[in-house]
Amino acid sequence: MSPAADLVVLVRGLAPSVEADDVVELVTWLRSARPDLAVRVVATEGGALAPEVAAVAELARLDATPEARAGRLAQRSHLAVPARAARSRGLRRLLGAVAAPVLVTGPAGRSLNWLDPAARPVVGRAVGTAREALDPADRAGLDDRVTAWADGPALLRQPGGAAERDDEPGVRARQREVLARDLGVAVEAPLVVVAGAEDEALPPDAVLGTAWQLVERTPGVQVLWATAPLAPPAAAQVDRHLADAGLAGAVHRIEPGTDWWRLLAAADAVVTGPRAGAGVSELAERIAPGRVVRPALEASAAETASAAAAVLPGGAAWTEPDDRWHAPVGGPRILELLGLAD
């Protein structure tokens, strides 16, 4: 382990989770945005995301230390006290000489008990588990040492490699320009994305009915019917449905692929099906909270369209978009709390 770090990040484990994704995205963004910072991630446990972290930052894992191995041997011998003592020695060795700013995720709060008292500032981050829902041992560690909280949505881990990353603020505006270029969707038009590519998607008849109602009641609205990749005959059939319904020009079929997150960032409203699940629904709630409409099973097209219109700009339920889920927006705010802003 290198003798010094400019930033230390404490995380409970690196199995896929909201907290771990948040850490992976932050250190990945830091690698390109702030190459001058030496970042060390200290994880209590490893997990599937450990190789991604190790590729962009120094990674220290408590479960891979000699003390951890000794602790596991003691645990197998039913020696609970020596096992805890070995684990404690490992944490003290990893954290006892840290003098850099520290970012700690909520479930790693108890690790702060072994942190060097000179380490300042200590910034807490609770994105996957609410503070009040944390284990009491983690809450106690956080209450004792945290000097500020980096509130806001979890950073979204971008799919793909370095070449596909979007590491500049303003992803919404850039995606609107792409849609204007590729589909003729006016940049300032109210934009509704209707999910049609997941198990929880609206069925085609409901999509057409909702789109018709939206076009009737919202001047200038543009609707993107997002589908899975379709074979040419199926794509032609969808286009015929749109033409027959008189919606050509206002409703556009699109296949987002891995760009779902960019499409959702550009949307003023997102309509999914009534059966909430993983995939698009979960992603939409991460990127566009307050702009997601999930109609009830018995909802009519008019009711769904009315709910979508309410969250559009100027609607009764419209809220200001919060883009802190995007690392180029949320990351600098975290660095500012850590005293590491440019």
Domain ranges of the chain: 7-160+325-337, 170-311
Assess contact for 41 and 27: CB atoms under 8 A.
Answer: yes
The C-alpha angle with vertex 51 and arms to 287 and 12, in degrees rounded to 5, equals: 65
What does the alpha-carbon distance between residue 37 and residue 30 come to, in Å, rounded to a whole number? Answer: 8
Closest CA to 94 of 3, 19, 20, 173: 3
Domains 7-160+325-337 and 170-311 alike in fold? yes
- Consecutive 10-residue averages of pLDDT for the chain (342 residues): 80 93 96 94 92 95 70 66 66 77 94 87 90 91 95 90 88 95 93 74 78 92 86 84 87 85 94 69 88 88 94 94 95 97 87
Q: Which CATH number fits domain 7-160+325-337: 3.40.390, 2.60.40, 3.40.50, 3.90.920?
A: 3.40.50
Structure letter (DSSP) for residue 274: S
Tell me whether residue 307 is exposed, middle or buried, using C-beta atoms within 10 angstroms of its C-beta: 0 to 12, 13 to 18, 19 or more.
buried
- pLDDT, position 43: 92
Structure tokens belonging to residue 229: 């990749």
Report how far apart, in Å, the C-alpha atoms of 289 and of each of 181, 281, 286 are. 27, 11, 6
The C-alpha angle with vertex 264 and arms to 20 and 158, in degrees rounded to 5, equals: 35
Burial annotation 6-18 (CB, 10 A radius, 16+ → b, else e): ebbbbbbbbeebb
Q: Which CATH number fits domain 170-311: 3.40.640.10, 3.30.365.10, 3.40.50.2000, 3.30.560.10?
A: 3.40.50.2000
